[in-house]
Amino acid sequence: MAILQEVKTTGDSSLSLADNLISDYDKLFLGTDPNFRLHYRLWYIKNKLEYEHKQPELCPRVQALAGKSPETSPQVVLLPTLVHERLGSDPQTKMLAIRETLYGKGWTRRAVQPWAIGLFDLNSRLLRLAMGQQ
């Protein structure tokens, strides 16, 4: 199984940035940058297994994870994740919409497991992190 987690963080109560999770997963098969495509990501893992961990026998199993589409990649699980301002937002509705959109693109119900993490005062927390403060 391969678990692919894409994360978006927003302090905007509309949570509209979360819609970008959909395009992030579209890149697995449709993207023009090969670094984001599923086959390349798994190729990178295969190289680490073979050359760094000296376990080439695992490489065919990793290769088998990548199909040509969501329908032909049943062992790939998506974990779209939204870190958001908890006050005044509706993450459940937003993440359900993202899940339904991914279903419409061929991913199975088992393959899509959305997650939302709500924090109070997120913007000031992020600002403190950016400035190196605790």
- In tens, the pLDDT along 23-67 reads 999 999 998 898 899 999 999 999 999 999 999 999 999 999 999
pLDDT, tens digit (0-9, with 9 covering 90-100), for 67-93: 999 999 999 999 999 999 999 999 999
> pLDDT value at position 37?
94
Phi first, then psi: give them for residue 109, nearest 5 degrees: -60, -35
Tell me which DSSP letter residue 8 carries: E
The interaxial angle of helices 91-104 and 20-30, nearest 10 deg, is 20
For residue 109, give both structure tokens. Answer: 């119900």
- What does the domain layout of the chain look like in residue ranges? 2-130
Is a pLDDT exceeding 90 seen at residue 134?
Answer: no
- Residue 91: CA count within 13 A, CB half-sphere: 19
Read off the pLDDT of each residue in 96-113 and give the average, rounded to a whole number.
Answer: 97
Find how far residue 20's CA is from the centre of its chain.
Answer: 10
